Amino acid sequence: MAEHSAGILLYRGLGAGLRVLLVHPGGPFFAKKDEGAWSIPKGLVEPGEDLLTAARREFAEETGQSAPDGRAVELGRVRLRSGKEVTGFGMAGDFDPESLRSNTFEIVWPPRSGRRQAFPEVDRAEWFDVPTARTKLNPAQVALVDALVRYLDDSQAAT
């Protein structure tokens, strides 16, 4: 069975002012990658764990701050090229990218050196407008941004 992750697509503003928070994966593999490398803050769902609970936990682990209180909108599920599935939730909120404090992971680096080094799971966070987010995101996750835009457009039309 494929791994399953859950994450939060934090947003602020509406219409042309809509911005989404994306994170850049840390570590040497992604150090020089930009377009197509960014992600929503996300992580693995534990067996039997509620998806939104997992998304909130992972947001806190990757950013160093709790996810905002308030309504979470399920944006759907996407499949990454690796086969991992990601369920995204849209939440309105704010976050100062300068306050990013990610958890870390260890790998042998450089390869075959026998030396273990720690790297942040996320090395930076940034707010992007929707067109820029579509180019920065892992291509499979663009569908989550599109679902958020549709939801917000439908919500505004209903008022």
In percent, the amount of the chain with pLDDT more than 90 equals 91
Identify which of 120, 71, 59, 70 has the alpha carbon closest to the alpha carbon of residue 95: 59
Residue 131 predicted with pLDDT over 80: yes
Q: Using one digit for the tens of pLDDT, what is the confidence trace for 76-101?
A: 999 999 999 999 999 999 999 999 99
Q: Using one digit for the tens of pLDDT, what is the confidence trace for 9-57?
A: 999 999 999 999 999 999 999 999 999 999 999 999 999 999 999 999 9
Domain extent at residue 44: 4-158
Identify which of 11, 59, 53, 38 has the alpha carbon closest to the alpha carbon of residue 142: 38
Q: Using one digit for the tens of pLDDT, what is the confidence trace for 137-159?
A: 999 999 999 999 999 998 877 76
For residue 80, give Cα distances in angstroms to 14, 59, 68, 85, 131: 28, 19, 26, 6, 20
DSSP reduced 3-state for 73? strand
Q: Is the dihedral of CA 36, 37, 41, 45 positive or negative?
A: positive
Residue 62 pLDDT grade (very low, low, confident, very high; cuts 50, 70, 90): very high
Query: Which helix (H) or strand (E) is 43 found in, with range?
Result: strand 42-44
The CATH number that applies at residue 66 is 3.90.79.10
pLDDT reported for residue 159: 66
Q: Using one digit for the tens of pLDDT, what is the confidence trace for 109-124?
A: 989 999 999 999 999 9
Enter the tokens of residue 146: 């599109």
pLDDT reported for residue 155: 84
Domain count, the chain: 1
pLDDT reported for residue 1: 61
